[in-house]
Structure 1
């Protein structure tokens, strides 16, 4: 998957919200290809479903575009990313 993403200039989006449930989880794709992976996690899925807290880890070059997308698609404007 990482090889295909690199070869074709694709972005991988990895949802790691439930990774903590696996006893022997493989390394995240973000560890193998940090330049091509958005790693999304969520506190609400693992702790409290009513709470809406999450995080995104991305290559630095993608941060401005992600910030604009988040601000354009949510009613809460994040103070910082």
Structure 2
């Protein structure tokens, strides 16, 4: 069974770039709604550019979705200067 961890994959991708670019990646999240019906939104930014956004019923789910989008962004557009 494959270990599917897009957050780890994103960090590994950036660490593999010249200059260990993972230190330039930032994640922020916020919650809306009551605790029993919370909606979490997470956003990855890289050098001030939004590269991924995710939503879910937990912070971890939102972070995972944002990491998937960020990986897709980097693979399609390259690394922002």
Larger CA Rg, structure 1 vs 2: 1
Q: Shared fold by TM > 0.5? A: no
Instruction: Report the TM-score when normalising by structure 1.
Output: 0.27
Instruction: Report the TM-score when normalising by structure 2.
Output: 0.27
